[in-house]
């Protein structure tokens, strides 16, 4: 089991892309760890960071979490009140979901506007032909059904 890790600092209302696609699509991934942490522990910050299997319209990035969205791969919340870190937040990962395309991280503040750090670990898995086909077609279908007009 090979583990790949990614980290970054994402601004409020922004979207980061983790480039994972390959020419053959035979390499798949599952999220095994997802953590967020403010870059300034002296401010009030209430954030929602989400991971999607398809790109999001940047103008509609929000803090609403909808588990019925089949493109949502994981979500993390973070809450701190200035120098009083009062809630470590919540992390939910749908670890049974395998993907072989790029993933997209979004961040939205509920309170003050500010960036947040994220750390993601992915388990790299070899996909057989059937898994490869299913993962690729699922992403194509999700992109087409969520196309913004």
Tell me the pLDDT tens digit for each residue of 52-95. Answer: 999 999 999 999 999 999 899 999 999 887 666 566 678 899 87
- Among residues 65, 63, 66, the alpha carbon closest in space to that of 112 is found at 63
- pLDDT of 139 above 60: no
Residue 143, pLDDT score: 56
Q: What's 2's DSSP letter?
A: E
Count other Cβ atoms within 10 Å, centred on residue 16: 17
Q: Are 17 and 101 a contacting pair, CB within 8 Å?
A: no
* Whether 13 contacts 116, CB under 8 Å: no
pLDDT-derived band at 111 (thresholds 50, 70, 90) equals: confident
Kindly provide the b/e burial profile for residues 94-120, where b requires at least 16 CB atoms within 10 angstroms of the residue's own CB.
Answer: eeebbbbbebbbbbbbeeeebbbebeb
The CATH number of the domain holding residue 140 is 2.60.120.340
The domain of 59 spans 2-145
Structure-block tokens of residue 65: 């979490």
């Amino acid at each position: 089991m090979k583990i790949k890790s990614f980290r970054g600092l994402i601004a409020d209302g922004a979207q980061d892309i983790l480039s994972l696609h390959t020419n053959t699509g035979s390499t798949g991934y599952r999220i095994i760890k997802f953590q967020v942490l403010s870059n300034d522990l002296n401010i009030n910050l209430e954030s929602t960071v989400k991971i999607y299997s398809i790109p999001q319209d940047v103008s509609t990035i929000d803090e609403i979490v909808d588990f019925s969205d089949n493109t949502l791969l994981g979500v993390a919340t973070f809450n701190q009140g200035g120098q009083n870190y009062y809630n470590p937040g919540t992390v939910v990962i749908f670890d049974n979901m395998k993907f072989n395309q790029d993933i997209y991280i979004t961040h939205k503040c509920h309170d003050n506007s500010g960036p947040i750090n994220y750390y993601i670990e992915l388990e790299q898995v070899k996909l057989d032909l059937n898994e490869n086909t299913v993962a690729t077609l699922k992403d194509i279908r999700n992109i087409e059904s969520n196309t913004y007009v």
